[in-house]
Amino acid sequence: MSFDVNKLVRDNIRELTPYSSARDEFHGEAKVFLDANENSMGSPLIKWYNRYPDPYQTDLKKAISKVKGIAAEHIFLGNGSDECIDLLYRCFCEPKKDNVIICPPTYGMYEVSGNINDAEVRRAPLLQSFQLHIGQIEELVDEHTKMIWICSPNNPTGNSMKREDIETLLNNFNGLVVIDEAYINFSKHKSFIQELPDYPNLVVLQTFSKAWGLAALRLGIAFASTEIVRLLNKIKPPYNINQATQELATQALEEIGQVNDMIKELVGMRDALVRVFESMPLVEKVYPSDANFLLVKIKNARKIYEYLLTKGIVVRDRSNVQLCDNCLRITIGTEDEITLLVKAIREYSKK
């Protein structure tokens, strides 16, 4: 295989002289910092919030590195995975010329971000089994195909993609294979992050928004080769991860025990809820889930969605999505929330 990241990257990005911030030009200890036009008097909040944050998030990356067992130079941090997705397009896809492949039904941002960046988005729908249609993906690839987006476990179907299929793509495709593992902590399957040394074309996305319970902080991770991390660093907004997020996420990483307890509880409730749904006459199918949600095929999904709204319960109506006819996507909530949901659906069926 002849993967060459220097051929893949856009010319203007390869040649780019990045913005050089005050914190780029000088880092280290000093007595007096008069180089960034900050307010040296202080801040109305926490004392040091008058200063710009570390543009490369050194301490936070060290903490992530320790938890994940991946060296810090393989870690890029974005303002949510959504920023990582956008930056990958900006780095590799020449507008109006390059294309990417997505496998719907899947996470919507791959397509929206592609449209914003004026990259052609080619669709290789999942099979009825919600697995990858490798033959069709391979047919869609041409010399302008820069990325294949794989979501595993997939949103909204909940299943994991077959490891051999992903490996086939990694071994045969000369562009980037981006694996979005937003839900990996709820899955019994292994992450691909340990495979980074074997695949220079692999990018793995993870996020603090789901299992870590920190959606509000906006923190996403891209694990990739040092070359790709260097390119992303070159084009990111200089201070894309704010100080509060850097501090709070570093703190959260020390609470991994608590997070693992929540994951265990959520997975337990998910598996119990599968059995509850399967016992309901209205439910036609509960799709197996490796995530913190269930995709449920149910009679009159739209009607039930609207009924639940009248009870103050919001689920996601996916019934207009390809292959998801009459499907609701239901996040695993607290025990009390699930009890309310189940009660409401039972009431609906008695009407």
Ligand X SMILES: *Cc1c(COP(=O)(O)O)cnc(C)c1O
Angle between helices 256-278 and 335-350 (to 10 degrees): 10
Residue 151 binding ligand X, by CB under 6 A: yes
Site size with ligand X, rule: CB under 6 A: 13
CB 57 within 8 A of CB 77: yes
Q: Residues, the chain, total?
A: 351
Q: Which of 207, 245 has the CB closer to ligand X?
A: 207
Selected range binding ligand X among 33-41, 79-87, 192-200, 314-322, rule: CB under 6 A: 79-87
The rounded distance, in Å, linking the Cα atoms of 343 and 27 is: 58
The rounded distance, in Å, linking the Cα atoms of 125 and 122 is: 10
The rounded distance, in Å, linking the Cα atoms of 133 and 242 is: 40
Residue 317 binding ligand X, by CB under 6 A: no
CB 236 within 8 A of CB 87: yes
Residue 157 binding ligand X, by CB under 6 A: no
CB of 81 to ligand X, least distance (A): 3
Residue 240 binding ligand X, by CB under 6 A: no
Residue 290 binding ligand X, by CB under 6 A: no
Selected range binding ligand X among 78-86, 247-255, 259-267, 277-285, rule: CB under 6 A: 78-86
The rounded distance, in Å, linking the Cα atoms of 47 and 50 is: 7
Residue 220 binding ligand X, by CB under 6 A: yes
Q: Which of 99, 207 has the CB closer to ligand X?
A: 207
For residue 31, what are the CA distances in angstroms to 25, 28, 34?
16, 10, 10
> H helices of the chain, where?
5-8, 11-15, 22-25, 58-68, 81-92, 109-116, 134-140, 163-172, 226-235, 243-252, 256-278, 301-310, 335-350
Residue 160 binding ligand X, by CB under 6 A: no
Among 77, 82, 184, 224, binds ligand X (CB under 6 A): 82
Residue 107 binding ligand X, by CB under 6 A: yes
Site track 168-187 with ligand X (rule: CB under 6 A), x = hit: ------------x-x-----
Which residue ranges make up the site for ligand X (CB under 6 A)? 80-82, 107, 151, 155, 180, 182, 207, 209-210, 215, 220
